Amino acid sequence: MIRLDDVTLSYKGRTGEVTALAHTSIDVKRGEFAAVVGPSGCGKSTLMKLATGLIRPTKGAVSLEGQLVTGPVKMAGMAFQHANLLPWRSVLDNVMLPLEIVEPHRSRFRREKAAYRTRALDLLGVVGLRDFADRYPWEMSGGMQQRASLCRALIHEPALLMLDEPFAALDAFTREELWVVLRDLWQRLGFTVILVTHDLREAAFLADTIHVMSARPGRIVETRTVDFPRPRPLEVCYEPAFTDLVHQLRGKIAEVRQA
Amino acid sequence: MKIAAEDITPVAFTVALFVIWEAACRFFRIDAFILPPPSAVFAAAAQYWWPLLKNSFVTLWTTVAGFLLAVVFGIALGLLVGWSRAIYRGLYPVMIGFNSIPKVAVVPILIMWFGIGEIPAILTAFLISFFPIVVNVATGLATTEPELEDVLRALGASKLDIMRKVGIPRTSPYLFGSLKVAITLAFVGAVVSETIGANAGVGHLMVQAGSNFQMPLVFAGLLALAIEGILMYAVFAVLERRMAGWAFRASMSAAG
């Protein structure tokens, strides 16, 4: 579905040319849950911007469903470490924001507001926020804001969901809770995910494939397939095979950090 | 409704100020020509209530007219400046330079151009008050979170969409905050212009009273200005709470 073909990205920094990403190739199939892990500053976020067409590669090509990406892809949902909800909108209105922008919803929005409202409420229901729809973001905890942010990323049923360390600012319990929320949403809706994270357990629990990146300039140094059966219960995280996988990934990252 | 001690303190302080003023005038036998006691000021205010009120209205309308011009022009320029980095870079130094000119210095020019009357007062009020509006609107736009912009751009939002859905609503607390400052400045501008050359307004009244050695009336004029200023500030403070109340709450839990 989305394909990065020998992509290099460099930009002019204050101390000269900086290469954020070098000769990176990734292929994510439709409906696949891909995770990208790596040491900090390895260009993971750059990778996300490239995949959504927010920035253009210096060399190489990015393509989406066989089409060359030349500008913002107009169909991706995104969520970041900070929920970035708009404080002047209620949770429900925040979730409905993409519907006011993406076609074909945009032109239908006024006429079918009631239907869209129901749809947003249903989605909020899935993540357990139905009763908080009329609250404002500041009235909610960080974990709840992040759930709302996920809903906002998914309300227009994008084929592609990009997550940039979405749970990094949360405490361990809330994080695991949200893993389950994301797992269920993904299983229900079947979109394609690229999850950028530095949490190896998160990647191992959620993803089908894990791409390990090296330190700057970022490069994919290893791609692992994770074949724990689905649906995965949280208990998977305590199986020896899981621990082994995380351990190996950790070793790999320690290796590339040294280099 | 119970009245809390906090609600009484402003009144108490105001009364105390007048009492101390009165006491000081009597105790030190200050010449009423140098500093008239409040009793004399209030007496003058009662005696000349009609000219005071009439001229206060003139000052009020010139202030408001100048202020409204500043709001329209300031918002438009602020949006323009916040829209693109190139415009921001080009215009900002020009505006800084313009703003650092003391507006009093411009008043004689305005009087030469437009003659004695209300137009110089309106223009001075406008000139002095548009700058904070421009800066605040532009700042509100310029500080939009880049991640939020990415979220919207990845949805295919145009620059205009981002402006409409995020930029402008986000700017509103900055705007309403600046209106509070701008109305006070506009008032200063109008009065300054009136004292330099006008045939109506509180500033004009004070100059006239001063040249007739009616010091109590000069101070009554000051009092009228203070009351007018407080009222205008209060209107915009309330408006700010109404229109951008979310900003007062949101800043308390910015984390997360």
B243 close contact with A: CB closer than 8 A: no
Question: Residue B87's Cα: distance from chain center in Å?
Answer: 27
Q: Which of B96, B62, B95 is nearest to B77 (CA)?
A: B95
- How far apart are the C-alpha atoms of A169 and A237, rounded to whole Å? 20
**Nearest Cα to Cα of residue B141 among B45, B75, B92:** B75
Residues B65 and B19 in one domain: no
For A97, name the nearest residue in chain B, comparing CA atoms only.
B165
**B222 within some domain:** yes
The CA distance from B240 to B247, in Å, is 10
pLDDT at residue A193 in the model: 92
- B151 Cβ contact list (under 8 Å, min separation 6): A78, A79, A80, A84, A152, A153
Cα A36 to Cα A163: distance, rounded to the nearest angstrom: 10
CB contact (8 A) between residue B154 and residue A72: yes
Chain A contacts of B244, Cβ < 8 Å?
A: 88
Strands A33-37 and A192-197: parallel
Chain A: residue nearest B150 by CA? A54
Gap between the Cα atoms of B186 and A249, Å rounded: 65
Contact flag A84-B246 (C-beta cutoff 8 Å): no
Q: How far is CA A178 from CA A23, A83, A118, in A?
A: 33, 13, 23
B137 and B228 both lie in a single domain: yes
Contacts A156 to B, Cβ<8 Å:
155
Residue B41 CB: number of other CB atoms within 10 A?
24
Domain with CATH 3.40.50.300 in chain A: 2-75+159-258
Contact between chains at A74 and B155 (C-beta distance less than 8 A): yes
- B155/A49 touch (CB, cutoff 8 Å), yes or no: no
Do the Cβ atoms of B246 and A82 come within 8 Å? Answer: no
Q: Which positions 161-200 of A are in contact with B (Cβ < 8 Å)? A: 162, 169
Cβ contacts (< 8 Å) between B151 and chain A: which residues?
78-80, 84, 152-153
SS3 for B58? helix
pLDDT tens for A207-241 read: 999 998 887 778 888 888 888 888 888 888 888 98
CB–CB of A97 and B165 under 8 A?
yes
- Distances in whole angstroms, Cα of residue A17 to Cα of each of A13, A14, A58, A60, A62: 6, 8, 12, 18, 22
Q: What are the DSSP calls for B228-249, one per residue?
A: HHHHHHHHHHHHHHHHSHHHHH
**Are B192 and B122 in the same domain?**
yes
Give pLDDT tens digits along chain B (256 positions).
Answer: 566 777 788 889 999 999 999 999 999 988 888 889 999 999 999 999 999 999 999 999 999 999 999 999 999 998 888 887 788 888 888 888 888 888 888 888 999 999 888 899 999 999 999 888 998 888 888 888 888 888 888 888 888 888 888 888 888 888 888 898 899 999 999 999 999 888 888 899 999 998 988 899 999 999 999 999 999 988 988 888 887 777 776 544 333 3
Contact check, Cβ <8 Å, B252/A138:
yes
Residue B252, in any domain of the structure: no
Instruction: Report the gap between the CA of B151 and the closest CA in chain A (Å).
Output: 6
- CB of A150 less than 8 A from some CB of B: no
pLDDT for the residue numbered B155: 83
Cβ contacts of B155 on chain A, cutoff 8 Å? 72, 74-77, 98, 101-102, 156
**How long, in residues, is chain B?**
256
Q: Please indicate whether, in this complex, the C-beta atoms of A78 and B154 are within 8 angstroms of each other.
A: yes
CB atoms inside a 10 Å sphere around CB A205: 24
Q: Residue B254 has what pLDDT? A: 39
| pLDDT range class, residue A38, cuts 50, 70, 90 | confident
Q: Does B26 reside within a domain? A: yes
What local confidence, expressed as pLDDT, does residue B1 receive?
A: 56
Provide the residue range defining the domain that includes B17: 1-30
Number of H helices, E strands in chain A: 8, 10
Asked if B189 and B92 sit in the same domain, the reply is yes
In this predicted structure, what is the pLDDT of residue B142?
81
What are the helix and strand counts (H, E) for chain B? 12, 0
Calculate the average pLDDT of chain A.
86
SS3 B165: helix
Q: How many domains does chain B have?
A: 2
Q: Containing H/E element for A90?
A: none
8 Å CB contact between A86 and B172: no
Q: Where are the alpha helices (DSSP H) in B156-214?
A: 159-162, 168-196, 202-211
B69 Cβ contact list (under 8 Å, min separation 6) = B122, B126, B130
> What percentage of chain A's residues is helix, strand, coil (to nearest 5)?
40, 25, 35
What kind of architecture, by CATH, is found in domain A2-75+159-258? 3-Layer(aba) Sandwich (3.40)
Cβ-Cβ contacts under 8 Å for A36 (sequence gap 6 or more): A26, A44, A47, A194, A195, A196, A197, A210, A211, A213
Edge-to-edge, what's the strand order for the sheet holding A33-37? A76-79, A160-164, A192-197, A33-37, A209-213, A220-225
Assess A234–B contact: CB distance below 8 Å, yes or no: no
Q: Is the dihedral of CA A136, A139, A144, A145 positive or negative?
A: positive
Is B85 in the same domain as B167? yes
β-pairing verdict for A160-164 and A76-79: parallel
Q: Say what the pLDDT of residue B240 is.
A: 84
**C-alpha to C-alpha distance for B63 and B57, rounded to whole angstroms:** 10
pLDDT digits (tens, 9 = 90+) for A151-198: 998 888 888 899 988 888 888 888 888 899 889 889 888 899 999 988
Task: Answer whether B151 touches A (CB < 8 Å).
Answer: yes
Residues in chain B closer than 8 A to A103 (CB atoms): 156
Cα distance between residue A236 and residue A209, in whole Å: 16
Verify that B19 and B71 share a domain, yes or no.
no
- What's residue B255's pLDDT? 36
Average pLDDT, stretch A126-148? 89
Interface probe with A: pick from B150, B159, B176, B249, most Cβ of A within 10 Å? B150
In order, the DSSP letters of A96-150 are HGGGGTSTTHHHHTTTTHHHHHHHHHHHHHHTT-GGGTTS-GGGS-HHHHHHHHH
User: B18 and B48, same structural domain?
Assistant: no
Peptide bond between residue B51 and the one before it cis (omega within 30 degrees of 0):
no
Span A64-92, average pLDDT: 85
Same domain, B12 and B63: no
Whether residue B71 sits in one domain with residue B10:
no
Asked if B165 reaches chain A (Cβ–Cβ under 8 Å), the answer is yes
pLDDT at residue number B180: 87
Tokens encoding A185: 């949403």
Residues of chain B with Cβ-Cβ distance to A73 below 8 Å are: 154, 156
Closest Cα in chain B, distance from residue A245 (Å): 31
Residues B13 and B122 in one domain: no
Distance CA A137, CA A148 (A): 9
Let me know if residue B17 belongs to a domain.
yes
Gap from B156 CA to chain A (nearest CA, Å): 4
Residue B16 and residue B101 in one domain = no
For residue B90, the domain's CATH number is: 1.10.3720.10
